[in-house]
Chain A
Amino acid sequence: MNYLHLLLLLIPALAIAAIVLRACPKTTATVATAANFLLSVVIFFLYVQHQAANPGGSLMKPFDFDAPWAALPGLPTIHLHFAIDGLNLPLIILATTVSLAAILVSPADCKRNREFFSYLLLMSLGGIGAFLSFDLFFFYIFHEFALIPTFLLIGIWGPQNRSYAAMQITLYLTLGSLLLLGGLVLLVLSVPAEVRTWDMLLLQQNLLVQLKDVSARGDVYTHFIFAYPLLLIGFGILISLFPFHSWAPAGYAAAPPGAAMLHAGVLKKFGVYGLLRIAAPLIHLPTTSINDPVYVSWAGWAGMWQIILILLLVGNILYIGFVTIAQKELQTMLGYSSVMHMGYLFLGLVAFNQVGLCGVVLLMVAHGLSAALLFGLAGEIQQRTGENRMDKLGGLATQAPMLATFFLIGSMASIGLPGLANFSGELLIFMGGFQTYPSVTFLAVWGVVISGIYQLRAVAKIFYGPKPAPLPNAPEVTDLTFTARLPYILLIAALFLFGMAPQILLQIVQPSISKLLGGV
């Protein structure tokens, strides 16, 4: 058994300790996240190698650490269970990439920089930990763990409107987590005491066994009836499911760029990952009998929630799409746009077929990269011009051509231009969505037009047009320096790589999706 992946958690933890012990904050954080990034790449290659050596997918995972941690009276033992499979590995690569970029864009000499970089590392650690955990307890705790630094980063270092935004995002997300916790506990309790477990894969197996047992089945379904909506809304709030999205635009507009990149890019994917792994399969668990009255009532209930989710996801795409068009501030617009793109992910999830779910994983990675890129660049624009209202900007392409080029690439990625990663994800989601819900997909595809409208309008307003008359006190706008380009080049390279060769990710994602679909 290979425990290399535990280093992914150890490195940021050690870096935080070092920063607390007076190591140079930005250098330490950069070294740690760069090491983590390289480590995740190494793990990726080892994983691919292992998969190639075990065609058909042996049960043994190449990276799997499982040790009992705490025994609770009346509840199953909590395990430290960190493993890697085809579903979380892409997200871990995403997390390490965005973490490195987020550290690199953050100014080394900001106020209280020791705390600042510790909190960023803590966010990164929380995200990676949540993705790595196969034990529901740690899965939940790591995410909660990342919310606290988010609150502090917005509240202390936010550029504008910070205290209200920090309160709102934290309370809202905590509410989501609370519902989620209820759902998770109910799910664990849905099986008889002797087979209860916190392990998400084991739990799913146990559920399957219970569902085959006629006497036990009723109890499981009764639990589902309460657990599923809690999970859906709980995760939904964390993903900014319409109409629970208000925290996202306000929070991202008020966050320092590094924090916005980490949250929009990485932490938000926690909810999608949870839905994909835990909640969505519940609806599709196979049943041996359809005559069971409890099953029938659960099936009707599940169908209703499926329809609700469809309505909400159309809201995510079309309603939020129009709202995004009307936005005047750059970061708020980007916040809404990232809410809108979540609608596509929900579409892939409700479709719940091979093609659609592969698309969901691809788009999670792609959106994380492109959102981080755009939030980072928005920070650069605001820092250079002191302005985030798009109407007041203009002609920046003449003064800062590199910044303009990067922003254009980010915009093109975000609107799903082929060659950049988002396209393949959206394409697969639309294809999978159409197989199951053609008319919903018809509505969802309008998103490609709407996102084109707001994103290109932003590009034109900020970068095109005549060079503006210099403001009396504003300094001359400068382009990105060589070192300032590095984080963006990293993100852009990843977008191009996964856009030109999506099979790199699909080769590891697809077997795991098959397993997920085969398990249910």
Chain B
Amino acid sequence: MTNAIPWFLLIAPLLSAVTIFSSLLRAAKPAALLSIAACAVSFGIAVAIKMGALLPPVPMTWIEIPGLLVQIGWQNDELSQLMLLVVTGVGLLVHIYSFAYMEGDKGYARFFGELSLFMFSMLGIVIANNFIQMFIFWELVGLSSYLLIGFWFEKDSAAAAAKKAFLVNRIGDFGFLLGIITFWTLTGTVAFNPEAWSLPGNDSQAVVSLVTILDQKPELTTLIYLMGLGLFCGCMGKSAMVPLHVWLPDAMEGPTPVSALIHAATMVAAGVYMICRVYPILALSGILDFIANIGMLTLLIAAVVAVQQTDIKRILAYSTLSQLGYMVMAVGFQAPGAAMFHLTTHACFKALLFLGAGSVIHAMHHEQNIFKMGGLRKKIPLTHWTFVIGTLALTGCPGLAGFFSKDEILVTASHPLHFAVALLTAGLTSFYMFRLYFVTFWGEPHSEEASHAHESPAAMFVPLILLAIPSVLLGFPQLGLGHAFFHFFHETFPNSITFPDAHEHGLNIIVAGSSVIMFAIGLVGAYMLYGNSPKKDTLPNVALVQNKFYFDAFYDNVVLTLQQLMARMLATVDYWILGTFMVRGTATIGSLGGELLRLFQTGNMQTYAFLFSLGAALIFYYTLFS
């Protein structure tokens, strides 16, 4: 028997989801416990795999026809092992947190079923060893995200946000699918196995390497560029890069634990994980500059918008967008190791911040406007202190995790513009996060709810504490996380095209110094403007920022209107011209013909005799005289 135990990484959450949906929908607590247990099993397997106690199983064949082999396999390397730990670790804490947070909701069991479905799909992405497997689970996380955003589907806004998330992601997936198909057409494989791409002419596997193709058929360079663009499209959808970012802020309609797990720590990071996984392909296709620029754009736009938001979850959502921009930009800087490092630390502190925000919202009886809070620091001290840690980690306070991982990205920015924007955004991040912090926690309570706020139950604050620890420690060079990622990429893809100037970066005094200065500027600025926790925004509203640079307005008005117009127009054409004029018209001609011929059927003997003789006369005429 082959080693089947590791498959329980996927089977456990899948079984949990199936069991809950088929028989436990009315049993709230058993469903939750089952789901938590399933997640714990996955976490255990992830740890065992990392420790080497379990070996990855042999792949299973999904489709096998001549010319196409698709397997469900397990890519077991440093990258997937660490990502598995992040997903199952944060996942487990969020499961436990939700046990208390979702208390009393009538969809309690359904929530945990959908959460298990998400774990199943997300873990499938992480262990994918080929494009098709990744795409399968890629779409499935899209489904679970759709279900969880629309968890409160009775609310029109939640239903609309769910639909929007799914459709925007589908646009990204459209490109992703085309990219995958192009890759398969060019190389004859869908596998991630890096030897298959970077070693020229590996005939034993009937694989033509991209390097060879680029060498021998320069005319395909454009196609390969488009392929890279397509693959990156998938990342733009899932990781919410400009201009496909619009779904993520709306996704905050989902329950807060969902926002923490899916829309901050793991699923949105799947795009970054994917482009790191296939990094050499993107490097070869020459698309890295484009990736860096898209990342920079997202980074800046999202940070600027975050400065003027008032909803606690939306501020964090824009912050997530902005941090994802950092990661994507790092891949564009040929530093996938830095991107993965930041992904890992970000998963911890952003989950911490979202769960903290959930705790605040819980204490505030579902009020999410920060200007209606205030003074919470004394009411909910535990939440407050963990939130402080999360904020410091995110803003890049020296010594915390975010400082190290962000620094590694800044160091790799070679173009002055990229560096300037990254540095500026570091300041903006510090500013909007401390704005959020001061307004929420300092000063006096601004509302009835704020003055009666109570600390959340243990199931909620224990995960906060457990997340706060890695948010502090994970970045330290002594822990070696950053080095681990760096070495992984440079050892797995040792190719001059993929890493032209490969050298390990240490801590750069100038870069670190300027990032600390930006952190301080943001902190001081926020303190001066918001330190007394004002009741409304001290900065004037800027229409451009308030309207999020008009992306949503553009999509809702121009794109949607055009689409509706086109649909109505074609439907009218179809109904009137094809359905009525052509089809009914043909039928009418037929029946008119019948009517016409009926005129001759008079039933009058003389008429028939006349017509008969007329016809006979004509026939005689033709036979005799022509």
Contact = CB atoms under 8 A, between A and B. Distances in A.
B154 A467 contact: yes
Given A246-B578, A326-B570, A417-B143, A464 B154 contact: yes
Interface in B138-177: 139-140, 143, 150, 153-156, 159-160, 162-163, 166-167, 170-171, 173-174, 177
Contacts, number: 132
Contacts of A438: 182, 185
Interface string A411-451: 01000011100011001101100110010011001101100
Contacts of A430: 177, 181
Interface stretch (A135-143, A224-232, A455-463): A455-463
A248 to B, nearest CB: 11
A386 interface: no
> Which one of B136, B143, B182 has the greatest number of beta carbons of chain A within 10 Å?
B136
Interface stretch (B2-10, B200-208, B561-569): B561-569
Interface residues of B, number: 50
B174 A448 contact: yes
Interface stretch (B61-69, B270-278, B356-364, B542-550): B61-69
Nearest to A451: B170
A449 B174 contact: yes
B65 A355 contact: yes
B579 interface: yes
A460 B160 contact: yes
B583 A246 contact: yes
B184 interface: yes
Interface string A227-254: 0000000000000000101110010000
Contact of A445 (B143, B166, B177): B177
A355 B67 contact: yes
A370 B571 CA distance: 24
A326 B568 contact: yes
A442 B154 contact: no
Residue in B139, B163, B174, B574 whose Cβ sees the most chain A Cβ within 10 Å: B574
B205 to A, nearest CB: 18
Contact of A322 (B184, B566, B583, B587): B566
B174 A441 contact: no
A230 B578 CA distance: 21
Given A448-B177, A452-B166, A460-B163, A355 B150 contact: no
A171 interface: yes
A503 interface: yes
Interface in A10-58: none
Nearest to B166: A456
B132 interface: yes
Contact of A168 (B65, B140, B181, B583): B583
B178 interface: yes
Contacts of B167: 449, 452-453, 456
B476 interface: no
Nearest to B138: A418
A348 to B, nearest CB: 13
Contacts of A326: 564, 567-568, 570-571
Interface string A330-356: 000000000000000000000000110
A323 interface: yes
A94 interface: no
A358 interface: yes
Given A449-B174, A460-B159, A418 B135 contact: yes
A506 interface: yes
A320 B578 CA distance: 12
Interface in B566-614: 566-568, 570-571, 574, 578-579, 582-583, 587
A398 interface: yes
A215 B447 CA distance: 97
Interface string B61-87: 111111110000000000000000000
A237 B61 CA distance: 38
B154 A395 contact: yes
B68 A355 contact: yes
Contacts of A354: 65-67
B158 to A, nearest CB: 8
Contacts of B143: 412, 417
Nearest to B124: A418
B567 A465 contact: no
A427 B568 CA distance: 30
A397 interface: yes
A514 interface: yes
Interface-central residue, A326, A419, A460, A465, by most chain B CB under 10 Å: A326
Nearest to B152: A464
Contact of B68 (A323, A418, A431, A448): A431
A497 to B, nearest CB: 13
Interface in B274-328: none
Nearest to B172: A449
A506 B63 contact: yes
Contact of B139 (A172, A418, A431, A442): A418
A510 interface: yes
A240 to B, nearest CB: 12
Given A445-B174, A446-B174, A431 B567 contact: no
A438 to B, nearest CB: 8
Contacts of A419: 136, 140
A327 interface: yes
Contacts of B173: 448
Contacts of A428: 63, 68
A323 B63 contact: no
B181 A431 contact: yes
Nearest to A418: B136
A177 B486 CA distance: 66
Contacts of B587: 168, 171
Instruction: Tell which of B21, B163, B166, B567 has the most Cβ of chain A within 10 Å.
Output: B567
A427 B132 contact: yes
Interface in A184-206: none
Given A246-B579, A424-B63, A449-B171, A323 B178 contact: no
Nearest to B580: A246
Given A246-B578, A453-B167, A327 B571 contact: yes
Contacts of A246: 574, 578-579, 582-583
Given A427-B132, A466-B154, A250 B160 contact: no
Contacts of A405: 21
B178 A398 contact: no
A246 B159 CA distance: 33
Contacts of B139: 417-418, 423
A452 B170 CA distance: 8
A457 B174 contact: no
A325 interface: yes
A377 to B, nearest CB: 18
Interface of A: 168, 171-172, 243, 245-247, 250, 319-320, 322-323, 325-327, 354-355, 358, 395, 397-398, 405, 412, 417-419, 423-424, 427-428, 430-431, 434-435, 438, 441-442, 445-446, 448-449, 452-453, 456-457, 460, 463-467, 501-503, 506, 510, 514
26 contacts: A246-B583, A320-B574, A325-B563, A325-B567, A326-B564, A326-B568, A326-B570, A354-B65, A354-B67, A395-B154, A418-B137, A419-B136, A423-B139, A434-B185, A441-B181, A445-B177, A448-B177, A449-B167, A463-B153, A464-B153, A465-B154, A466-B156, A502-B62, A502-B63, A503-B63, A506-B63
Interface of B: 21, 61-68, 132, 135-137, 139-140, 143, 150, 153-156, 159-160, 162-163, 166-167, 170-171, 173-174, 177-178, 181-182, 184-185, 563-564, 566-568, 570-571, 574, 578-579, 582-583, 587
Given A418-B139, A465-B159, 19 more contacts: A168-B583, A168-B587, A243-B578, A250-B579, A322-B571, A323-B571, A325-B567, A326-B564, A355-B67, A355-B68, A424-B63, A427-B177, A434-B178, A434-B185, A449-B167, A453-B563, A456-B166, A463-B153, A466-B154
Would you list the 9 A-B pairs with minimal beta carbon distance, nearest first? A464-B159, A326-B571, A326-B567, A418-B136, A325-B567, A464-B153, A246-B579, A322-B570, A322-B567
